[in-house]
């Protein structure tokens, strides 16, 4: 497995990470923890060293799963988790307000995450969403203190805008920004990626497979479990799935020419954007994990990238990437 560095932070990880959320939360029924542990350990055996979780996934269940799975190989891997939602210790999640990045809460979450992850340090601690009621300087200062104490090694942000990134970075260097980025969501190219390059911050795209749509395995007839958040995503309405199928078909034809799968092309495209970009596709299946990891071996030339740009520019993707409630949390 190839390695990459997240910007100037010195944090080195496998070129592809593993997003663990869907094993416990958000994408239908949770899988059996034994199966999740086996899958995470299979990823380690195949060279993956970068694992992504968060307290809100469950809440708490996913951190516990990741902690259990990685305990035997803790020194060989990088664990990223996140704080910032308004969650009680018993797992009750509050919506008024939905976010809480007060410094004392950041510390509480860190201590609880350390216990659940069965570790004495968090490699990368992200603010999950920007909290408009807490100055980002205070948030960065709280994480800086945790880094000084050795409980956290690197600070990250998720779905933050350029101004917030700059202000946070001035207080405590930001190692990585995690935001959505894929062939069907390219908004970060406008302002985010240039700013990250300037500041020496790594980029960790989540949903690099378009929440599964770019794999070619979802169409207008697909039905989602009632616990699957894609039911609330406008981009995944039946009508929009039908319209967006055209993009997947174009990627699929291109993939055939490269003797790869659509998922591998979608991931290879993300990997080809910058050497400090590390996507974290999620899966609950071993054969999908292996397929995704195969993307690291797919070489896209400058001509290939131009062709993909031209092909995908023909299609106007239909539907917002979040429902109204979630969208309020990502206004930058």
Q: Is 57 one of the catalytic residues?
A: yes
Of the residues 57, 126, 181, 322, which is catalytic? Answer: 57
Q: How far apart are CA 180 and CA 211, in angstroms?
A: 10
Do residues 212 and 225 make contact, with C-beta atoms less than 8 angstroms apart? no
User: Exposed, middle or buried by CB within 10 Å (0-12, 13-18, 19+), for 28?
Assistant: middle
β-partners of residue 277 are 203
DSSP assignment of 56-92: TTTTTHHHHHHHHHHGGGGGG-EEEEEE-B-B-TTS-
Within 8 A by CB and 6+ apart from 246, the residues are 315
Q: How far apart are CA 14 and CA 51, in angstroms?
A: 10
CA distances from 263 to 195, 255, 268, 275 (A): 28, 9, 8, 19
DSSP assignment of 181-205: -BTTB-GGGTTHHHHHHHHT-EEEE
Tokens describing residue 97: 């307000």
Ramachandran category for residue 211: left, alpha or beta (phi over 0 → left; psi -120 to 50 → alpha): left
Do residues 63 and 81 make contact, with C-beta atoms less than 8 angstroms apart? yes
What pairing do the DSSP bridges indicate for beta strands 3-5 and 122-127? Answer: unpaired
3-state secondary structure of 122: strand
Active-site residue list: 57
């Amino acid at each position: 497995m190839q390695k990459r560095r997240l910007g100037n932070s010195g944090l080195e990880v496998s070129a592809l990470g593993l997003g663990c959320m869907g094993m416990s939360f958000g994408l239908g029924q949770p899988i059996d923890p034994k199966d999740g542990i086996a899958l995470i350990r299979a990823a380690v055996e195949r060279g993956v060293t970068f694992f992504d979780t968060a307290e809100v996934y469950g809440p708490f269940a996913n951190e516990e799963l990741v902690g259990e799975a990685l305990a035997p190989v803790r020194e060989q891997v990088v664990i990223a988790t996140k704080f910032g939602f308004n969650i009680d210790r018993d797992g009750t999640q509050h919506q008024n307000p939905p976010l809480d990045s007060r410094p004392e809460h950041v510390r509480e979450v860190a201590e609880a995450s350390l216990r659940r992850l069965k570790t004495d340090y968090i490699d990368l601690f992200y603010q999950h969403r920007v909290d408009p009621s807490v100055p980002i300087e205070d948030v960065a200062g709280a994480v800086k203190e945790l880094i000084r104490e050795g409980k956290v090694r690197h600070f990250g942000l998720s779905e933050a805008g350029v101004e917030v990134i700059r202000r946070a970075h001035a207080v405590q260097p930001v190692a990585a920004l995690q935001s959505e980025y894929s062939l069907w969501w390219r908004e970060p190219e406008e302002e985010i990626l240039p700013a990250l390059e300037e500041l020496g911050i790594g980029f960790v795209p989540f949903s690099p497979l378009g929440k599964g749509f770019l794999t070619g395995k979802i169409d207008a007839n697909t039905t989602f479990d009632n616990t699957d958040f894609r039911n609330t995503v406008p981009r995944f309405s039946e009508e929009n799935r039908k319209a967006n199928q055209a993009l997947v078909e174009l990627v699929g034809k291109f993939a055939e020419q490269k003797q790869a799968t659509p998922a591998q092309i979608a991931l290879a495209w993300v990997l080809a954007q910058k050497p400090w970009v590390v996507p974290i596709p999620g899966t609950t299946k071993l054969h999908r994990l292996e397929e995704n990891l195969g993307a690291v071996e797919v070489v896209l030339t400058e001509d290939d990238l131009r062709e993909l740009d031209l092909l995908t520019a023909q299609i106007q993707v239909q539907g917002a990437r979040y429902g109204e409630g979630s969208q309020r949390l990502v206004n930058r």
